[in-house]
Every structure is written in structure tokens, then in C-alpha cells.
Amino acid sequence: MYSEIIDFLTQHWQLSSIFIVMLVVYIVFELKYATPDNYKISPQQVVNMYNHQQAALVDIRSKEAYQQGHIIGALHLLPTELPTKLKKLKKFSKKPVIIICDTGRESPKFANQLAKEHGFENVLLLMGGMQAWFAADLPVTNEK
């Protein structure tokens, strides 16, 4: 069995090399941008943290999506605007900061940037993003 694998790898070394490179890239990407599950919170936990711990809500969706409906009290901040609007967030650096995107897939990179590059201590993600918020039938507003 092992000899067949070795034979295949040596006969198809280019395919094997591409596979190994892609595997390494995937692992590096996952390690760099993966967020542990304990940093993902449910919509109900967001409500609790906002009400009882004065958590900051940061909505990183597009301007159009934000204007169509966002969580009451959420600050709109595109990831590209972080360097220019960091002062607005600095006052929350010791409090929970909850990052909100559309599906929960875009927010880990932004959360890692806040935590690792800018020293935010408690960065959390809305698990499932605004889609989960809408599914939980929680209130939204389209006011600024």
C-alpha cells in the first residue's frame, strides 16, 4: 500500500508538489484568519452585552446594506476606513467590541486586525452576521 503511494508521488511529482503547496497555503490562511468559536456570539448574546456591558457594535457591511437596516446603535465602519476612523473606536478598546458583517465570514479578518494590530482586548463576532440577526427577528433601524 505505502509503496503504491510512493510510486504515485514520484511519478506525479508536479501534482504532488502543487497539492502540498496548496495545503500549506490553506493551513496558513486558516491559522491567520480563523477565529476560535468562543469569540463568536449569538444575536441574543449581542443584545445582552450591548445592554449590560456597553459593548460597541461595529457594522462592516457596505453602506447600502447598512442603510437598508442595521442594529440599533451600531457604528458603520468599512474595513478600508479603519486607519482614518480608529479614534472613534479607541474609546472602546477595553470594552467588548462586536464586529458585524453580512454572514459572519467577513468579520474575522477585521477582528484580528483590531485585536492584533491595534490592541483591542475583547473583540467578538456576531455568529452568522446580520442574516442570523434577521433570522432571530430582532429589531433593526435604517436611521443613522
Active site residues: 101
When computed from its CA atoms, the radius of gyration of the chain, rounded to whole angstroms, is 20
Q: Kindly report the backbone phi and psi dihedral angles of residue 123, in degrees, each rounded to the nearest multiple of 5, phi listed first.
A: -100, 125
Residue whose C-alpha is closest to residue 73's, from 95, 51, 52:
51
Q: Which residue has the cell 474609546?
A: 91
Through-space distance between the first and last CA atoms of the chain, rounded to whole angstroms: 65
How far apart (Å, rounded) are the C-alpha atoms in residues 43 and 125? 10
> Element (H or E) spanning 96, and its range?
strand 96-100
